[in-house]
Amino acid sequence: MKNRVFLVFAVVLGGAAMIAGASVFPGAGVGPIPDGGPACGPVGANLDITFTVAGEPAGAPVGVGVEMSINHTWVGDVTATLIAPDGVTEVAMFGRTGVITATGCGDSSDLGAAYGFFDATGNATNWWDEATAQGGAAVMTAANYKATAVGGAGQVNPPPFVVIDTAFAGVADPNGTWTLRVTDSGGGDTGDVSAANLFLGQPVPVELLTFSIE
């Protein structure tokens, strides 16, 4: 059982996409993330956010990235996985942050902003190190990060980075429906995703968050 006192607040972000050469696809189906639990480990139902991609050249996608505006207490509960249109190929952007045992609850920092996950970002801070730096009920810094391996029994802290483009190198056609699957694996802390964007063919990192939330 997790016990702590936290403050609930809203974050409002705004901006405009200004990325030469990138295709940007808005997500549909945002909303509350079903709670997991009751203890730390059992996974709740999926929140599946979909992106309809059309008009992209055939062949393995490159410059794949995703942004999401997400609010959730206790980041250690949450896993966000991007799934290709083939329904099989997938890579976690982050997951079970701070969990290194089978029943661990992970890091208690909060999600309360917009976060991007891109191979090309210049931010060298590991997602887990950011969570550790915040600690307690502090909100993780809004920024772009590299994807990291999911926590669990035997995981090292921090875990290795994951190369998103390499994970999707076997996808023959990027057109179709991509899915950002967000799950919660601990009871008592809840949240939602209010916006998300999928990027394909991005030549440079986005260092400013690019979607509007009202």
How many domains are there within the chain? 1
1 in any annotated domain: no
Predicted local distance difference test score (pLDDT) of residue 21: 63
What are the b/e assignments for 37-59, b being 16+ CB within 10 Å?
A: beebbeebeebebbbebeeeeee
8 in any annotated domain: no
Q: CATH number of the domain that 58 lies in?
A: 2.60.120.260
Closest CA to 177 of 154, 206, 198, 208: 198
Q: How many whole angstroms separate alpha carbon 100 and alpha carbon 109?
A: 16
134 in any annotated domain: yes
Closest CA to 116 of 128, 127, 131, 132: 127
Decide if pLDDT at 199 tops 80. Answer: yes
207 in any annotated domain: no
**Strand 111-118 and strand 23-26: pairing?**
unpaired
150 in any annotated domain: yes
Predicted local distance difference test score (pLDDT) of residue 202: 62
Contacts of 88 (CB under 8 A, 6+ apart): none
Question: 129-169: per-residue pLDDT in tens?
Answer: 999 999 777 999 999 999 999 999 999 999 999 999 999 99
Decide if pLDDT at 208 tops 90. Answer: no
Q: What percent of the chain has pLDDT over 90?
A: 79
Q: Containing domain of residue 102, as a range?
A: 23-200
Read off the pLDDT band of 18 (50, 70, 90).
Answer: very low
Question: 70-127: per-residue pLDDT in tens?
Answer: 999 999 999 999 999 999 999 999 999 999 998 899 999 999 999 999 999 999 999 9
Question: 48-86: per-residue pLDDT in tens?
Answer: 999 999 999 999 999 999 999 999 999 999 999 999 999
Q: What percent of the chain has pLDDT over 70?
A: 84
7 in any annotated domain: no
11 in any annotated domain: no
Q: How many whole angstroms separate alpha carbon 116 and alpha carbon 22?
A: 15
62 in any annotated domain: yes
